[in-house]
Chain A
Amino acid sequence: MSLRNLRNPGLWITVLAVALLGLWPIVTQRASTREEIFTVMLSVVLASSLNILLGYTGYVSFGHIVFFGLGGYVGLYLIIVQGWSLWPSMIAGGLAAGLLALLLGQAILRLRGSYFALATIGINEAMRAFINNFEPFGGPTGLSLNFQTYNQYGGAANALWLIYYIVLILAVFNIFLSYIVKTSKFGLGLMAIREDEDAAEVMGVITPRSKTWAYVLSAILPGVVGVLFFFKNGNIEPPQAFRLHLSIELLVMVMLGGYGTVFGPLLGAVGYQRLRGLLLTSDLFKNIQLAVAGLLLLLIILFIPAGAVGWLRQRFPVVRRFIP
């Protein structure tokens, strides 16, 4: 990572795109726009994080939402039961998610291909079952925030804006992180693993270590935004925290935008959330949105496996300079 890398126009185009999108609700000051963009920014953070594992390292995590849910639980537990403030709880949520990835990584990153993907689903389900029976986290009823808590942050209305700003900052930060990883020596090792793990080992890439750190990096920010999401939501329950279909939607976003690119997850998150917004207004689609997501994933894999950005980069190599 050298400063020269930071002069890449593509990085700044991407950051500018996130910033402009994020500033829109601030300019209009409309709560409904804010909610819509909040969902998009949340998706950007989740998809971009997943991309470090899926896109750079080539490991498909179907159960990535486990980090979001666990982070949310740890954060809300600290806020509600231990009386911590939001900031340290956010950090604790991120660290808890990272720690889980560190422990899991040693065990399941030895599995390749679909075995790894299946293991990640198992972990999400196991975590849901565990928390369902874990009394400190409220078991099946979960944890609920006292409405008074928001007063520390200037009341509920202000708290919502505050959370929005934090998520926006995290989304921009995540784009930088994603870019820095991609252009670093660490990232080169990850991409070598993605292309041919055995060949990477023969060239000296310490694959267990690299994969584990990629997994940890891809887990921390989902843990942090988990805290924010459930803090905003006011309560957390096992089925909400570990929704497998959210995991699948994240995969769709990364694949739609273009895995392994910095810009792709952003484009995928925006595109997918727009599409979902349109579909949700129709009663028919409301019930089958997951089926639509699955179908979309299938179509992408069949026809544009590289995703939108990947496709552009293949068709027009000059684009590579501007879209990282």
Chain B
Amino acid sequence: MILQVSGVSKWFGGLKALTDVTFSLQEGQILGLIGPNGAGKTTLFNVINGVYKPSEGAVNFRGVDITGMKTYEIARMGLARAHQIVRPLNELTVRDNVMVGACFGRENHALGGARVIADEVMEFVGLEKRADQLASNLNIGQKKRLEMARALAARPYLLLLDEVLAGLNPAEITRMIDIVHKIRERGTTIVMIEHVMQAVMSVSDQVLVLDFGKPIAFGPPGEVANDARVVEAYLGDPELAKQLLAPSSDESEQDA
């Protein structure tokens, strides 16, 4: 198991954002993490990569108990993340942004090696023409790809993708899904939060559904899609049902 989350709960004051979340993930798999807005998906990522310490429970990554470890320590062990709300290093060039990932990630490259990796990764996500522009000049789709590129440049064992498709137009979505497929072919394990249901279902090996911080279903996509509680969690909200039936999501990033 590359990742084991056992009995994780997280309180924010009186709000319980996660309740007793348990699952494990095998190397090379893609886990889709779905659930309505505010279900605690991003919080779960924050607990896994050490931004928050869980109130209860433990996280184990590649056989090491990483509960309570610093974010940068976890990153250096080979866990990378693309944020839901993009966080470009605005006054640095696209290349420098990607080089940060390569320099300080798992492989701890020197600048020369990092530059080679950055060029390769920028080409992979289609940002090579923007290499020398400041990150602040990118549009949203490009910024999403920059998040992805930085995470990939770290050559992680496990990649956390938080709504990388949100806010993209259909052409960009197709392109991004293609990128995810390619990453998976390289054997990188992925946890992917997504609202675009079709995308999650088509790429995931397993799907975990959160509702109000509680895991309500876990299993292969076909099973989960037919689970009564999942249907209820989603279809109880007509807005969401509509959203999920649409092939693309036009929602912006209001659910930080």
Contact = CB atoms under 8 A, between A and B. Distances in A.
A188 B70 CA distance: 20
A185 B89 contact: no
A129 interface: no
A283 interface: no
Contact of A199 (B89, B106, B112): B89
Contacts of A194: 91
Contacts of A1: 111
For B72, B81, B92, B112, the residue with the greatest tally of chain A CB atoms inside 10 Å of its CB is B72
A189 B96 CA distance: 10
Interface string B51-86: 100000000000000000011100110001101000
A178 to B, nearest CB: 17
B235 to A, nearest CB: 35
For A192, A194, A204, A206, the residue with the greatest tally of chain B CB atoms inside 10 Å of its CB is A204
A300 B99 CA distance: 31
Given A202-B71, A204-B72, A192 B100 contact: yes
B154 interface: yes
Contacts of A199: 83, 87, 89
Interface residues of B, number: 30
Interface in B87-130: 87-92, 96, 99-101, 103-106, 110-112, 114
Contacts of B42: none
Contact of A192 (B89, B105, B110, B114): B89
B51 A202 contact: yes
B89 A202 contact: no
Contact of A184 (B87, B92, B111): B111
Interface string A171-207: 0000000000000110011011011101111111111
A204 B101 CA distance: 8
Interface residues of A, number: 22
For B88, B104, B105, B114, the residue with the greatest tally of chain A CB atoms inside 10 Å of its CB is B104
Contact of B104 (A2, A189, A196, A198): A189
B96 A191 contact: yes
A313 to B, nearest CB: 10
A195 B114 CA distance: 19
A34 B75 CA distance: 52
Contacts of B105: 203-204
Interface of B: 49, 51, 70-72, 75-76, 80-81, 83, 87-92, 96, 99-101, 103-106, 110-112, 114, 150, 154
12 contacts: A1-B111, A185-B103, A185-B114, A191-B89, A195-B88, A199-B89, A200-B89, A201-B72, A202-B75, A203-B75, A203-B101, A204-B106
